[in-house]
Every structure is written in C-alpha cells, then in structure tokens.
Chain A
C-alpha cells in the first residue's frame, strides 16, 4: 500500500482535512498517517468503505504518552565579544511540549492487505485530552479505547460506553502515563537492591519521621 496515494485519495474524498505522513526510522517501514481531529471519523469511514482500500478490520488501538522533551544542539553564532565579532558556539535548547497519542492499526480482511497506521493526537496532555471515538466505525475499538481512557486518560467523544475497564471505578490516576507515581508499598523486601533498595530506604525514612 502506497501511503502517498492513500493520502491523496483521502484528500480528494474528504476536502479540507489535515493529514501528515509520519516517517518511521525502523526497518519495519511501517509509516503512519497523522489525522486532524476534526475529520477523523469521516476519514475512518472513507478508509473502511472505499472499494479499493476496504480497511474493514481495525486490529490494534493503543495510546502512547510523550513527555515534554528538550533537545539541545550546538549552533555557531556570530557575537560581539569584547568589541570584536567572533564566532562562538552556543547551546540552543528547543522544548517540545508533551502530547498524548492514539495509534490505530488497520487491516483489510476482504483484500488481505495492511497495516495502515493512523495516529490521532489530542491538543496536550493535561486539560484538552479529547479525541473523536472511532468505535462507531470499527467496533473492535470499543474495549481498546476504554483501555486508553483508563490508563492514559484520553476522553473519546462519541464512545458508547466510556468507563474504566481495568482499574476500579474509584481509581483516579492514569497509570500508563510516563509520569505516574505508583503507591509505595515496598515496606519490606527480603533482598532489596537497586531501585527497590532506594524505595525501601525512603519508606523507612518516612516511617521514622512519624
């Protein structure tokens, strides 16, 4: 399947949609297509019903959490040092804000081809975490989107039954996020080592303060 062609097909079928090809550096060569949120459901319908593509089977749906990242690069800049213009190396830092992501892997049972990888991104990872649900298009996303809601906290609009699936209803955190801190119940470990040793030391220090 040619991703460029699929992209132009979608653009012809759903006018005004935002699409971007995300390249994948691994030898697997599974490049993906980033969809704009506004037209995601329309695009999904097109992919499912288009007689050439017929991606009728949504296999895998999952979330990914990308934290804020900082990349630093050395840049040569011309600067006035002591009144003389010199070329000085400067470290420039670029901060990429973190985001959440939902990834869909599509196959076709009729045409027996695939996978086509779709990505959807909410605006940020704190307060605007909504995405349109693709469960009305592929029902196989039902439990998997619930799982993303449970573990990553992405709210899927239009999902028929969006509840926590793996953790209990009273639970408040989203444990698969990279910055989740789990409850410290390591108060005793027969042979503590590495990270567990640190945790048990901390726990004992807290115990001592009380």
Chain B
C-alpha cells in the first residue's frame, strides 16, 4: 500500500493496514517465551520478568512451561553436552513460527567454560539463533534490548517472496537433528548444515572447508 496515502487517510481518522502488518504486529506483541533456565543467566531472566524490569511491558510476561505453547526459546545459560539433546528436542517440539535468543556468553560460544569437555561451544551448532546477547550474565536491560531487536526482526518479515521466513517455506526444515550420546562426545558433534550457514562468511572458518560435501574416499 502506498505509504503517503496511508498517512493521508490516517490524518482523516481512517486507519488502514495490510495483512502482513497486522500479522506481524500480533505476533511481535505477544511473544510467549518458554520457561527455560539453564544456568546463571536464568536468574537474570527471572529478574527481568519481575517488577523492577517488567518484561510484561513488551508483551512477553507469559512464560510457558510447555514448549507446545511457546514461541520464543531464551537459551539462558551454559548448554552442556548432556543437556544439548534435550534443548534441541524442546526446540523441535515448539510450533512454528519460533525464535531463539542465545542469552549470555555460554549459550553463544561456551563462554568462560569453553574449555570444558562437557560444554557445548555454542547452541547455534544445533539450532538456528535469531538474537545473540553477550555478557556474563547479560543485565536485564540487555535481555530487553535483545527482545526489542527480536520484535523489530519479526516486524520486518514479509509473508511472501523468496526471503519469507522459514515457517512460511514448506521446503525449509522446522526440526533439527537431535544429537545422541556417544562414547566420547555427542554424535554428531554439530549440525553441519546449520553450522555451515553461520560460518561460511568467515575467512578460513570451518564453513569454507568441504564439510558438507561427500568425501571422495
């Protein structure tokens, strides 16, 4: 719709909208996060939903314990290898459209515990992440900032076209590989398809190696 016409109409008291705007407005204004705390960051997540910071101002106070009713997963804390299969399974159980905020250094990359043998070096090895918040732990303000960033992202999504989001594209997967416990490590240690998308733009990163192609031998 023509933006000038829309503005002219609104000055006359006539409000117009598009289906896309309405759809995105509805979704971004009532994001229901999953009650999902892993470690230290979860306490800051709880503090964010409490009276002082009041996440309810942004329509996200309804923390749901069941993944079936949630559309935002805040990965708040260190994801260990023992916990990773459960995190991916919970993500798979969430209905589309679904979003992920990686809260804190641990969820992004393993953080201070990166050297640990049981620590997953970033949740985006297994599931796609929409917003990363650095910090150890991030302050409640940082979580709110990430939340507003996510709202902007939802607002900008188009319903049609080649760049439409994953949940509107039947060919895109909505479920991801759940790793299995192995004798020494998780099997597979990362979701190669997903990890390649993230790292392909980094020079000499693993995404540039022929990880994904069938081996010649």
Contacts and interface: CB of A to CB of B under 8 A. Distances in A.
B82 interface: yes
A204 B121 CA distance: 17
B189 A171 contact: no
Contacts of B121: 185-186
Interface in B40-59: none
Given A170-B182, A170-B183, A173-B184, A187 B206 contact: yes
B181 A168 contact: yes
B22 interface: no
A94 B164 CA distance: 71
A15 interface: no
A172 interface: yes
A188 B181 contact: no
A210 interface: yes
Contacts of B215: 210
Contacts of A167: 82, 118
A167 B181 CA distance: 10
Nearest to A195: B115
B179 to A, nearest CB: 11
A110 interface: no
A145 B170 CA distance: 52
B209 A182 contact: no
B184 A210 contact: no
A160 to B, nearest CB: 23
A180 to B, nearest CB: 7
A188 B202 contact: yes
A182 B117 contact: yes
Contacts of A83: none
B181 A170 contact: yes
A17 B185 CA distance: 43
A25 interface: no
Nearest to A170: B181
Contacts of A210: 215, 217
A183 interface: yes
A207 interface: yes
B199 interface: yes
Interface in A153-210: 166-173, 175, 180, 182-183, 185-188, 204, 207, 210
A167 B81 CA distance: 9
Given A183-B189, A185-B189, A210-B215, A175 B118 contact: yes
29 contacts: A166-B82, A166-B118, A167-B82, A167-B118, A168-B181, A169-B181, A170-B181, A170-B182, A170-B183, A171-B181, A171-B183, A171-B184, A172-B184, A175-B117, A182-B117, A183-B184, A183-B185, A185-B189, A185-B190, A186-B121, A187-B206, A188-B199, A188-B205, A188-B206, A204-B204, A204-B209, A207-B206, A207-B209, A210-B215
